[in-house]
Amino acid sequence: MVGRSRWQNNFSEWFNEIVQVAEIMETRYPVKGLYVWLPYGLKLRNHVISALKELLERTGHREVLFPLLIPENLFKKEAEHIRGFEGQVYWVTHGGHDRLDIRLALRPTSETAMYPMFSLWIQSHADLPLKIYQVVNVFRYETKMTKPLIRLREVTTFKEAHTAHATAEDAERQIREAIQIYKQFFDRLCIPYIITKRPSWDTFAGAVYSIAFDTLAPDGRTLQIGTVHNLGQNFSRVYDVQYERVDGSYEHVYQTCYGISERAIAALIMVHGDDIGMCLPPEFAPIQVVIVPIPYKDVQAPIEQTCTEIYERLKQAGLRVELDLRDLRPGNKYYYWERRGVPLRIELGPTDHANQRVTAVRRDTGERIHVPLDRVAERVPQLLREIETSMRRRAWEEFRKRIKTIASVDELQNAIHNRNVGRVPWCGNEKCGLEIEERVEGSVLGEELFTEAPKNRSCVVCFQQANKWLVVARTY
Ligand code: A5A
Ligand code: ZN
């Protein structure tokens, strides 16, 4: 397969094309980095958002909605934050013909909009912890190449959660909860990930430290699909977010924030895709089952009749099902739905009809399964669950195969060049991390978390005792 697959060897072109032909996005909007969600794509997006909201609500996060505009004086309070973002901010300078007294930033993220309100809302210990989130659009004037769903200038699906706590330990606990939520979210999407602590030079602007989830594109580049930041008291000091302790003294709160965007949807498309197009996990697929009749001379009417009955039955069972009665050749219909990632197709031809059965075809494996007519309503949901489980397993298998544990910088360069992610023993010293970035054609993702420390290994740069795994890859 390798060498011929467009999905792997021409991933960028494949992705841009699929996003358009599968009717996820209209990519021809005349502003760079802005795209239009199409009906099919929007359904997919909404299923993804629902899953994320459900996980947040279940853990006590409450949804809010803040304004898009942030006054310049508030935006510029936290020095590190502004240093990190100023090159990416769009400014509103006029209202009609009037020049505004204070310029307004289109939020690139909402810390500086929210935390002045936190300072009003939080008075005492009893107001903590505060856990809120919103799903909004944010604007970032990205200078790297823009790409639908992956690098946008208007991010339309920015889920940002923000929390405030009484102690540093509570904030640490919140970081762990956020990681658990994101794990569950990506597990539901059947997207494999590696979790790293970002190096100091790649920490979120204003954070004490950042943790990131990365997945792998078919071309071997990693894609950051979510981040969790410990903000310490950096923002609460500047925005004066304090609470009164039981003993009457005051302390600044400890904060965290964590975000996910439509990159998660890009990951869904690319991880499970193939040369034909998308393959969507049943939980998120806008259409889970498509029924395609294969008419044949005088059995056309009874075949269509049976298909309609199956359609009704599956719909009643709560499935998102489509009956394709268009005047097209069956082969064209197959291709049409395959590109759009419909996980299961039900065919009913003359032989099936004669045998009182249907043929179910799995999008993920191509496997054809005969199902007796009277068992369709029971078998189809089972098949969808099997598809989900095997999509998750296969994605993780492919992912693990491409994470290479490596003992030298030369091998690391080789591995990255061959579209893998490298994992090398590291002493923990920043200088060694930076030197690696100079010597190989990849970037340091960071220190791998939730893994066993290397034993009796030496750092690939300085050859001192290694106590961490450093993850290095080409990135998006
Ligand atoms: N306030 C915190 C949560 C924040 O802004 N973090 S972040 O900058 O790391 O963004 C969160 C996530 O949004 C990133 O991990 C990335 O997956 C996604 N993201 C960031 N910039 C993006 C862009 N220009 N287009 C699409 N997704 C983006
Ligand atoms: Zn070292």
Cβ proximity of 287 and 333 under 8 Å: no
The ligand placed nearest to the CA atom of residue 428 is 2
Q: In this predicted structure, what is the pLDDT of residue 3?
A: 55
Q: In this predicted structure, what is the pLDDT of residue 297?
A: 83
Question: What is d(CA 215, CA 202) in angstroms, rounded to the nearest whole number?
Answer: 17
Question: What is d(CA 182, CA 188) in angstroms, rounded to the nearest whole number?
Answer: 10
DSSP state of 94: E
pLDDT-derived band of residue 298, with 50, 70 and 90 as boundaries?
confident
From the centroid of its chain, how far is CA 327? 37
The ligand placed nearest to the CA atom of residue 84 is 1
CATH superfamily, region 289-384: Anticodon-binding domain (3.40.50.800)
Mean pLDDT value across residues 150-179: 98
Cβ proximity of 15 and 147 under 8 Å: yes
Ligand 1 atom closest to the Cα of residue 140 is: 24
Nearest to 199 by CA among 471, 475, 476: 471
Q: In this predicted structure, what is the pLDDT of residue 288?
A: 98
Tell which CATH architecture fits domain 5-272: 2-Layer Sandwich (3.30)
Mean pLDDT value across residues 29-39: 98
Question: What is d(CA 455, CA 441) in angstroms, rounded to the nearest whole number?
Answer: 27
* Average pLDDT in the chain: 97
pLDDT-derived band of residue 466, with 50, 70 and 90 as boundaries?
very high
- The reported pTM is 0.97
Distance 133 CA to ligand 1 centre (A): 14
pLDDT-derived band of residue 1, with 50, 70 and 90 as boundaries?
very low
**Cβ(231) – ligand 1 distance below 6 Å:** no
**Cβ(107) – ligand 1 distance below 6 Å:** no
The answer to whether residue 311 scores a pLDDT higher than 80 is: yes
Strands 69-71 and 98-106: antiparallel
Substitution candidate for ligand 1 out of 261, 265, 268, 270 with most atoms within 8 A of CB? 261
CATH superfamily, region 405-475: C-terminal domain of ProRS (3.30.110.30)
The answer to whether residue 104 scores a pLDDT higher than 50 is: yes
Phi/psi at 336 (5° precision): -55, -50
Cβ proximity of 475 and 196 under 8 Å: no
Which sequence spans correspond to the domains of the chain? 5-272, 289-384, 405-475
Nearest to 252 by CA among 272, 266, 269, 232: 232
